[in-house]
Homo-oligomer: A and B are copies of this chain.
Amino acid sequence: MSALTHNEITALLLALGLLLASARILGETAQRLNLPSVLGEILAGILWGPTIFGALAPEWSAFIFPAQGGGALAFDGLTTLAIALFLLVAGLEVDLTTVWRQGRVALWVAIAGMILPFSIGFSVAWWSPEWLGYQPGVPHLPFALFMATILSISALPIIAKILMDLNIYRSDLGVTIIAAAVFNDLLGWLVFAMILGMLGVNQGIPLAHTLWITLVFTASMLTVVPWCIHRLLPWIQAHTSWPGGVLGFAFSFCLMTAAFTEWIGVHAIFGSFLAGVALGHSSHLRERTRATIDQFVSFIFAPLFFASIGLKVNFSEQFDLVLTLTILLLAVTGKVIGSACGGRLGGLVWRDAFAVGFGMSAQGTMGIILGVLALQMGLISHQVFVALVVVALVTSLMSGPLLQRLLGLRKARRFCAHVGAKTFINPLTAYSKDGIIMELATAAAEVVDVDVATISHAVRQRERLMSTGIGRGLAVPHARLPELTEPVVVVGLSHGGVDFDSPDGLPAQVICLILTPVQDDGAQLEILADIASTFKIKEIREKVGGVSNFTEFLALVRSGQGR
């Protein structure tokens, strides 16, 4: 039986460990800078790949990330599995009922947003293929179809993430964008499946067969199969251990549909995406099962896959600015104008129609995944691949800010973003409300240019109107100060507890002083709401008394975000 050698195992484990660690670190850094984490993950791969580490230490690089041999094959198997599982999660996010609900507008957006960039992409790739980096010898029709598809595809997971960040995921506009993106995704994958069929990746199955099998399979995965799964899941949960039964079912179902689509000649990930759609449709799939799958895949497998992209190509050598800009221009104009026209035809006002267009323009992960497949099949050159990755990243980076600017939105504020080590007091020593306010105001005065008396006066005045003890041991004295430009929050822990006239009569043990500018753009309200909802979590309330420093406090409070 073929087995990996001792050195191959060492290298494989080391490669996985290094890639995962750096992908997570750079992914977190990207998020901190309000960029999509996929950017940091790909960057991690570029660092370890031929672009940087491979150029600096070619021998080490050849040992840890071998291009040939057993280790490379095992690594390839793992990334194939990783991307199949990532598409399972992407499929789980698709809500079919949403698509039908916002159906009319979404359909217009999806169709117009697909047809325009597809036609533009196809025309250019057909009549001026050299503009898009066409290599002689590559079959022309599949190449043109591929470039057309990649210019017209959207990235459902990225779009969902952007809309959630902007807090408009559940709004009408958000639902329209998501529904259009779902439709767009399904359509895009179907076209891509046909390209693969044309290339005869499947050995022996004629193209016509691949096509009709794909259509029948897709149709049943959207209708009959979800119906069966919805009926099967309660039975599985009743008769197997929880959550092992459901997890095992979800994964083996995903793997088998992936094997099936790979076998008929369209790619494995099309099958796992549809498996996710079919599974996610059932309301019997519990939130916690979804969360377990999602966490594992998003934080372990997805970073590994995206990091592996950077390993494939030398990004500095193969970067072609003109090519990248051409593709970027075609991708953005076609997608934005097409989708906006679709939205207008569906009855939206122009502003909303363009918002939809900007929302749909994020190519993100899907563009990259299709690029990887095309590269593997020799359909595109390394230059085109690098250009596609860059375009996917740039469109993902632009989409959020453009949408935000156009609609005048912002991200939801979190209170802990305004607390620092200097504005965290543990323990508070005063016994009275006024004493506590003075203590908190003193800490606040150290970080802003306002004197203690002004702060405490403003807070006490507000307090006189109505007490800010809101119960469950929490009090939120607050004030607006004309001198401020940014909100400041001071958190103090009183171990004995201080009476803040709470409705439930309990003494306050966590006191958060919130100071905001006069023109605060809703910051005070948002911070108040965030504090209240954070301390609504029983575990956080119980454990907050035990934290010994600011870092532990932050760790505790942020753990509530995952719920």
Interfacial residues, chain A to chain B (CB-CB below 8 A): 1-4, 6-7, 9-14, 16-18, 20-21, 23-24, 27-28, 31, 67-78, 80-81, 84, 201-203, 233-245, 247-249, 251-256, 258-259, 262-263, 268, 284, 286, 288, 292, 295-296, 298-300, 303, 312, 376, 551-552, 554-556, 558-559, 561-562
Choice from B20, B67, B243 contacting A2 with Cβ under 8 Å: B67
Q: 9 shortest A-B CB distances, which residue pairs?
A: A74-B77, A17-B255, A24-B248, A237-B555, A21-B252, A238-B554, A13-B259, A17-B256, A14-B259
- Closest CB in chain B relative to A325 CB, distance in Å: 28
Q: Which residues of B contact A235 (CB under 8 A)?
A: 551, 555
Q: Which residues of B contact A299 (CB under 8 A)?
A: 243-244, 247-248
Q: Which residues of B contact A263 (CB under 8 A)?
A: 10, 14
- Closest CB in chain B relative to A5 CB, distance in Å: 10
Query: Given known contacts A2-B76, A24-B248, A73-B73, is B562 in contact with A242 (CB within 8 Å)?
Result: yes
Query: Given known contacts A6-B202, A562-B242, is B258 in contact with A13 (CB within 8 Å)?
Result: yes
The docked-state distance in angstroms from the alpha carbon of A16 to that of B23 is 26
Does A243 lie within 8 Å of B562, measured CB to CB? Answer: yes
Does A28 lie within 8 Å of B245, measured CB to CB? Answer: yes
Does B259 lie within 8 Å of A77, measured CB to CB? Answer: no
The docked-state distance in angstroms from the alpha carbon of A561 to that of B288 is 13
Choice from B73, B202, B248 contacting A74 with Cβ under 8 Å: B73
21 A-B Cβ contacts within 8 A?
A2-B76, A3-B76, A3-B376, A13-B255, A16-B255, A17-B256, A18-B252, A20-B252, A23-B248, A28-B245, A70-B73, A70-B76, A75-B77, A77-B77, A233-B555, A234-B552, A235-B555, A237-B558, A244-B295, A244-B298, A247-B296
Does B72 lie within 8 Å of A1, measured CB to CB? Answer: yes
Does B559 lie within 8 Å of A237, measured CB to CB? Answer: yes
The docked-state distance in angstroms from the alpha carbon of A252 to that of B17 is 4
The docked-state distance in angstroms from the alpha carbon of A14 to that of B263 is 10
Report whether over half of chain A's contact residues are helix, strand or loop; otherwise say mixed: helix
- Closest CB in chain B relative to A63 CB, distance in Å: 11
Query: Given known contacts A24-B248, A298-B244, is B4 in contact with A77 (CB within 8 Å)?
Result: yes
Choice from B249, B551, B558 contacting A242 with Cβ under 8 Å: B558
Q: Which residues of B contact A245 (CB under 8 A)?
A: 24, 28
The docked-state distance in angstroms from the alpha carbon of A237 to that of B561 is 11
Q: Which residues of B contact A243 (CB under 8 A)?
A: 295, 299, 562
Number of copies: 2
Does B295 lie within 8 Å of A247, measured CB to CB? Answer: yes
Does B238 lie within 8 Å of A13, measured CB to CB? Answer: no
User: What residue in chain B is nearest A201 (Cβ atoms)?
Assistant: B6
Q: Which residues of B contact A300 (CB under 8 A)?
A: 247-248, 251
- Closest CB in chain B relative to A446 CB, distance in Å: 21
Query: Given known contacts A17-B255, A17-B259, A244-B298, is B6 in contact with A80 (CB within 8 Å)?
Result: no
- Closest CB in chain B relative to A237 CB, distance in Å: 4
Does B242 lie within 8 Å of A6, measured CB to CB? Answer: no
User: What residue in chain B is nearest A64 (Cβ atoms)?
Assistant: B259
Does B76 lie within 8 Å of A76, measured CB to CB? Answer: no
The docked-state distance in angstroms from the alpha carbon of A69 to that of B76 is 13
User: What residue in chain B is nearest A28 (Cβ atoms)?
Assistant: B240
Does A10 lie within 8 Å of B248, measured CB to CB? Answer: no
- Closest CB in chain B relative to A501 CB, distance in Å: 29
10 additional contacts (CB under 8 A) given A6-B203, A13-B80, A292-B292:
A6-B201, A9-B268, A10-B259, A16-B252, A20-B255, A24-B245, A24-B248, A28-B241, A238-B552, A247-B296
Q: Which residues of B contact A1 (CB under 8 A)?
A: 67-68, 72, 76, 312
User: What residue in chain B is nearest A237 (Cβ atoms)?
Assistant: B555
- Closest CB in chain B relative to A462 CB, distance in Å: 30
Does B2 lie within 8 Å of A69, measured CB to CB? Answer: yes
Query: Given known contacts A6-B201, A76-B4, A248-B303, is B13 in contact with A256 (CB within 8 Å)?
Result: yes
Q: Which residues of B contact A268 (CB under 8 A)?
A: 9-10, 13
The docked-state distance in angstroms from the alpha carbon of A249 to that of B240 is 31
Q: Which residues of B contact A559 (CB under 8 A)?
A: 237, 242, 286
Q: Which residues of B contact A258 (CB under 8 A)?
A: 13, 17
Q: Which residues of B contact A244 (CB under 8 A)?
A: 24, 27-28, 295, 298-299
